[in-house]
Homo-oligomer: A and B are copies of this chain.
């Protein structure tokens, strides 16, 4: 398990080389890959860049999946046409994790129709990623203020996400576990029992506002880990640790104020909060 600097998740506009430097300077264990930057470098340049990043002692976090699982057939097909170029670059860099989230509602497709849509596409994408040696993380979204906004609520719990992954038949698909979704979904440490490293592709630690009830929390208005104590991060990270998780841990608070503060100050704080999260998770399992 290692802390990761994900500028996008922090709402910071950092070009990739700067992000790499800042991640190293502030003691992060990893940094998110940047497909756009890799494209400018080309395959060979990306290989060299990745070597340099490794030399700084940094691991790769997770890349975003450039495939809309719920797009139109034409959009989804086009994304498949384009996918190999991205996979080639990520493979060249040694990136092994990509991720996406599942939209937790739909105005037209009911739960079963939407399940079939996601299942078929997830299986196909997983197969293509597997050929490239890349695992896929799937994030479920917990806040009721989000999943209840359209006619047909969809996956918004860990159990549903795990069943979707199991039915995909893919061995390279796992969860993106975010404490915020885990909390808003009404889940606790017991729900995480039995998970292994193979089940988890990425972890997010966030806290929630303390002036709102659980079902009133907004997806895009969170707090930094340990800020309010609303979310049981000890229980969450303890379970993640017990699972023997070995991947990236990041913060995704959706707080605009972060972009208004000096970046070094922000990253020093974030790095420290992530270190504290890792400590809470306990020593790595043998």
Contacts and interface: CB of A to CB of B under 8 A. Distances in A.
A131 B72 CA distance: 10
A110 B159 contact: yes
A116 B119 contact: yes
Contacts of A131: 73-74
A127 interface: yes
B119 A73 contact: no
Nearest to A147: B153
Nearest to A127: B73
A83 to B, nearest CB: 8
Interface string A89-126: 00000000000000000000011110111011101101
A121 B119 contact: no
Nearest to A110: B160
Contacts of A111: 111-112, 153, 160
Chain A residues touching B, range:
35 or more
A286 interface: no
Contact of A153 (B127, B130, B153, B159): B153
A55 interface: no
A72 B127 contact: yes
A80 interface: yes
A124 B116 contact: no
B110 A157 contact: yes
A120 B124 contact: yes
Contacts of A88: none
A152 B157 contact: yes
A186 interface: yes
A182 to B, nearest CB: 14
The 10 lowest CB-CB distance pairs between A and B, nearest first, are A120-B120, A73-B127, A111-B111, A153-B153, A148-B148, A73-B128, A77-B80, A110-B160, A81-B81, A113-B169
17 contacts: A73-B126, A74-B127, A74-B131, A76-B124, A77-B128, A80-B80, A111-B153, A112-B160, A113-B169, A119-B119, A119-B120, A120-B123, A124-B124, A148-B153, A152-B157, A153-B153, A166-B166
